[in-house]
Amino acid sequence: MLRYICMIAALVLVAPGPLAHAITLGQTNDFQDGTTQGWSGYATAGNVSTGGPAGVGDRYLLLTSSGSGLTSELRTFSGFVITPWGGDYAEAGVTAVAMDLLNLGAIDLEMRILVGGNFGDWTSNSAFTVPADGQWHRAVFGLTANELVWGGDQGGNSANLEDALRYCGGFHIRHQAGEPLGWRGTTPIASSLGIDNVTAVPEPVFGMLVAGAMLFLRRHT
Ligand SMILES: [Ca+2]
C-alpha cells in the first residue's frame, strides 16, 4: 500500500497542474457560463443571470457576506495550486488586474487585491472605493512595487515582491478598510458585491507604450 501511496504522491508532485492553469495575459472571468468560475471563500458566492455591466443577460458573480462566522467578509479568492489566477505574473506580462464592481450594500466599500503564496502576501497600497450607488464601476489594481505593499503576516517568509509575483498561489479580491493588511487582516461586513469581467491586463501606461511603438513601426517600415 505504501508503495502505491508513494507512486501517487510522485505523480502529484510532477503533474503539470500549475503550469496548465497558469495566468495568461488577457484572461477574463465573465461568468457567462453560469458558474462562479473558481472564485470562493469568506462570503457566499453565486452567479446572477442578468444585470451585469452590459445589462440584460450579462451574468456576474455575487458575493454576500454576513459580518460573522464563515461568511464574515466580502472576499473571494482563486487558489491555491491549480488556479488560472496563480502562476508567473512576470512571465505572462500581467502588471494589473481590472474588474467591474457593483456595491449592493448600504456603505461604501474599500476594495483591494491580495497576491498570496510562499513568498508572503502583497496587497493593494490604496483601496479602490466603490460607492454604495448601485452602479457598476471599473477598477484597475496595479501589481507594481508602488501599488502593492507587503502584508507581513506569513511568518518566516521573505518580503520579496518579485518572487511573490513569479510564484503566486492565491489571488484575493476583498473589501478591506483602513491601512493595508495581509492575508489575516479582515474587515467583517454584512453587505453584497457584484464582480464581473476580471481581466489580466498590462497597466494603461504600458499599453500606451505598446500602442506608441506600433504606431512608430507603422510609420517607419
Ligand atoms: Ca458577465
Q: How far is the CA of 32 from the centre of ligand 1 (A)?
A: 5
pLDDT band at 20 (very low <50, low <70, confident <90, very high): very low
- In this structure, of 32-41, 55-64, 177-186, the range with the lowest mean pLDDT score is 177-186
On the question of pLDDT at 113 being above 90, the answer is yes
Q: What b/e readout covers 46-56, taking b as 16+ CB neighbours within 10 angstroms?
A: eebeebbbbee
**184 vs 159: CA distance, rounded Å:** 16
pLDDT top residue among 92 and 116: 92
pLDDT for 81-104, tens place per residue? Answer: 568 899 999 999 999 999 999 999
Q: How far is the CA of 62 from the centre of ligand 1 (A)?
A: 11
How does strand 190-201 pair with strand 96-103? antiparallel
CA atoms within 13 A on the CB side of 96: 16
Residues 6+ apart with CB under 8 A from 55: none
Q: What is the dihedral of CA 198, 203, 207, 213, to 10 degrees?
A: -150
Beta strands in 5-87 (DSSP E): 28-29, 44-48, 60-66, 75-79
Q: How far is the CA of 33 from the centre of ligand 1 (A)?
A: 9
Q: How far is the CA of 119 from the centre of ligand 1 (A)?
A: 32
Three-state DSSP class for 59? coil
Q: What is the topology classification, in CATH, of domain 18-220?
A: Jelly Rolls (2.60.120)
The one-character DSSP state at 26 is T
Q: How far is the CA of 194 from the centre of ligand 1 (A)?
A: 10
Helix residue ranges per DSSP H, 70-156: 89-92
Instruction: Tell which residue, 205, 79, 92, has the closest CA to residue 146.
Output: 205
pLDDT band at 156 (very low <50, low <70, confident <90, very high): low
C-alpha cell at 137: 464601476
Instruction: Kindly list the domain boundaries of the chain, sorted by start residue.
Output: 18-220
- State the pLDDT at residue 82: 64
Neighbours of ion ligand 1 (CB under 5 A): 30-31, 52, 58-59, 196
- State the pLDDT at residue 219: 60
- State the pLDDT at residue 197: 98
pLDDT band at 208 (very low <50, low <70, confident <90, very high): low
Mean pLDDT score of the chain: 84
Written as one string, the DSSP assignment of 148-212 is EEE---STTS---HHHHHHSB-EEEEEE--SS---TT-----EEEEEEEEEEEE--HHHHHHHHH
In this prediction the pTM is 0.82
**159 vs 154: CA distance, rounded Å:** 9
pLDDT for 22-57, tens place per residue? Answer: 899 999 999 999 999 999 989 999 999 999 999 999
